[in-house]
């Protein structure tokens, strides 16, 4: 009992202490809880902005401010990219890995669809000019064609883009100057999105039918104390929201208030729920990553805190599809792959 109390006290110190006071990355873990073990570190000459694993969890794609898309084999020795591609002309802000394609979005107002083959590498197949900067992109799953991608754009609109017909088949307006985050439910029946000034909170739309895509009904509004910068679904009917107010709110659809609020101290720049829905990883601007047990979301428990970057803000994180690894990116150009140890 004393060991667990001391461990929890150590976590509190990690959460409260400024990141500049951390001389080295460290892991503080309560007894019998999950640990994170650093497996790989990859680098870029400029800030990494996003990363995503392939469906088999072996390969990871990452994008950065130097306009590049890079792909690594995390089972290979060394840190040299397996593939490297330059197609954008400005910061690349988002990346999503579909079946055998990668989608990237940039401040240059383009979305690029890349074909991926093990013998040839990555080849840009489609370059689409949008109305404004592509802030976020999310590939659809389930019954929808894998060529369909939801993109969050700097003009405050979420668009469903069909990579087969090269056309937009649906639009949803966020009451803000730009979209900050989007997520699609596991059953592809709803889509959640958030925006920056002047709005707070998030909107959830029913996208289950073609009529709702063409003529979307009024969304369900989920409140949040600040600007929402990150969204992910926990289940088909619940989501996690994180933002610049230093909290994560967990929402069950149909409720009038969050079922839980997780204090984070600093800005939440990204979050991701593990494939089995039991873990929530949160990336913060102060370089700290926290991992939460959300097996019962209303009773979420902090189980590990990691100083993932001592000098730079974290920019994104993502679980691998098998849930065994977790990747973090930071503004200093470091991509770290962590092993999740049960």
What are the per-10-residue average pLDDT scores of the chain (342 residues)? 31 34 46 73 96 94 97 94 94 90 90 84 85 78 57 89 77 89 91 87 89 82 93 96 95 95 93 95 94 94 86 95 96 95 76
- Please, are residues 183 and 210 in contact by the beta-carbon 8 Å criterion? no
Instruction: State the Cα–Cα distance between residues 146 and 164, nearest whole angstrom.
Output: 9
The pLDDT value recorded for residue 294 is 96
Instruction: State the Cα–Cα distance between residues 316 and 287, nearest whole angstrom.
Output: 11
This model's pTM is above 0.85: yes
The pLDDT value recorded for residue 270 is 96
Which residues, in sequence order, are CB contacts of 9 under 8 Å at separation 6+?
Answer: none
Q: How far is CA 37 from its chain centroid?
A: 20
- Residue 98's closest CA among 67, 42, 144? 144
- Residue 316's closest CA among 154, 102, 89, 95? 95
Instruction: State the Cα–Cα distance between residues 257 and 80, nearest whole angstrom.
Output: 47
Q: Two tokens at 203?
A: 């909107």
Instruction: State the Cα–Cα distance between residues 329 and 118, nearest whole angstrom.
Output: 25
Q: Two tokens at 43?
A: 């680098």
The pLDDT value recorded for residue 306 is 86
The pLDDT value recorded for residue 163 is 67
Superfamily (CATH) of domain 2-341: YVTN repeat-like/Quinoprotein amine dehydrogenase (2.130.10.10)
For the beta sheet containing 121-129, the strands, ordered from the edge strand earlier in sequence to the opposite edge, are 92-97, 101-106, 110-117, 121-129
The pLDDT value recorded for residue 28 is 56
């Amino acid at each position: 009992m004393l060991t667990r109390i001391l461990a929890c006290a150590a976590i509190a110190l990690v959460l409260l202490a400024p990141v500049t006071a951390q001389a080295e990355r460290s892991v503080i873990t309560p007894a019998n809880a999950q640990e994170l073990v650093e497996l790989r570190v990859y680098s870029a000459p400029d800030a990494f902005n996003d990363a995503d694993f392939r469906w088999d969890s072996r390969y990871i794609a990452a994008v950065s401010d130097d306009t590049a898309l890079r792909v690594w084999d995390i089972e290979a020795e060394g840190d040299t990219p397996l593939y490297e591609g330059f197609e954008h002309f400005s910061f690349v802000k988002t990346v999503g890995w579909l079946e055998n394609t990668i989608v990237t979005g940039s401040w240059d107002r383009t979305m690029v669809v890349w074909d991926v083959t093990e013998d040839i590498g990555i080849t840009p197949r489609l370059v689409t000019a949008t109305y404004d900067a592509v802030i976020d992109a999310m590939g659809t799953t389930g019954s929808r064609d894998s060529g369909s991608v939801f993109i969050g754009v700097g003009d405050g609109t979420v668009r469903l883009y069909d990579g087969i017909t090269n056309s937009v088949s649906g639009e949803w307006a966020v009451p803000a100057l730009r979209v900050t985050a989007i997520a699609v439910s596991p059953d592809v029946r709803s889509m959640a999105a958030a925006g920056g000034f002047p709005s707070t909170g998030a909107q959830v739309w029913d996208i289950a039918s073609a009529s709702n895509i063409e003529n979307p009904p009024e969304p369900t509004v989920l409140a949040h104390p600040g600007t929402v910068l990150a969204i992910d679904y926990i289940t088909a009917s619940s989501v996690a929201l994180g933002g610049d107010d230093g909290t994560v709110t967990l929402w069950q659809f149909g409720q009038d208030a969050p079922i839980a609020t997780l204090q984070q101290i600093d800005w939440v720049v990204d979050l991701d729920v593990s494939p089995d829905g039991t873990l929530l990883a949160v990336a913060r601007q102060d370089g700290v990553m926290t991992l939460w047990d959300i097996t019962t979301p209303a009773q979420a428990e902090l189980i590990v805190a990691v100083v993932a970057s001592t000098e730079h803000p974290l920019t994104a994180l993502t679980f691998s599809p098998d849930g065994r690894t977790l990747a973090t990116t930071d503004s200093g150009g470091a991509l770290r792959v962590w092993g999740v140890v049960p």
